[in-house]
Structure 1
């Protein structure tokens, strides 16, 4: 599991959708992610997203969070930080490595 920046893209202008800092579980190949009870599948053919929900087809952007909080290209939404990810995220903002990413 990794702490990730997750943003809903479907139904919103560029980088204006709701965003979260959350724990995300990936499969071995990193092509499938499990987040907030959703199964997201990686797809490279989307213009502004890199994963889609296999049930609803909503599109999402998943990436590692940035220390400067510039997690989007065009906007600056403040993500909602999930309670179980808060300690790891705040430590990361303070300079610590994210769990599981100590070496890159």
Structure 2
């Protein structure tokens, strides 16, 4: 899978409600683009979910997965819940997506 396309994405767990745990991390896309992998899990794209666009293949949990926004306002609904950033993408995220140096 060395030729597989990867991208930094916003990943929010919607299985418990409209606001859930969220992360910024690198996903790997399948050849067809209908699924992606993140942290050893496979997420299948769905066409018409209510406030979600992927389901976890292993247990059916619902997720919102999208490209991260330059302004950092990735959640569909405003929330004080933190958005974690995976350490392996942190510098690239702040530099290339947010357009600023990594915060202290």
TM-score normalised to structure 2 length = 0.83
Residue-by-residue CA offset, 1:18-56 (whole Å, 9 max, x unaligned): 000000000122111000111100011311110001111
SS in 1 for 2:12: strand
Q: CA RMSD in A?
A: 1.3
Residue 73 of structure 1 deviates from its aligned partner by: 2.4
Task: Give the gaps of 5 or more residues in structure 1.
Answer: 96-104
Task: Give the gaps of 5 or more residues in structure 2.
Answer: 1-5
Query: 4+ runs of 1 displaced by more than 4 Å?
Result: none
In the alignment, what sits opposite 2:92?
88
CA distance in 2, matches of 1:93, 1:74: 20
Residue 78 of structure 1 deviates from its aligned partner by: 2.9
In the alignment, what sits opposite 1:74?
77
CA distance in 1, matches of 2:48, 2:59: 17
Greater relative contact order (CA < 8 Å, ≥ 6 in sequence): 1
CA distance in 2, matches of 1:35, 1:75: 24
TM-score normalised to structure 1 length = 0.83
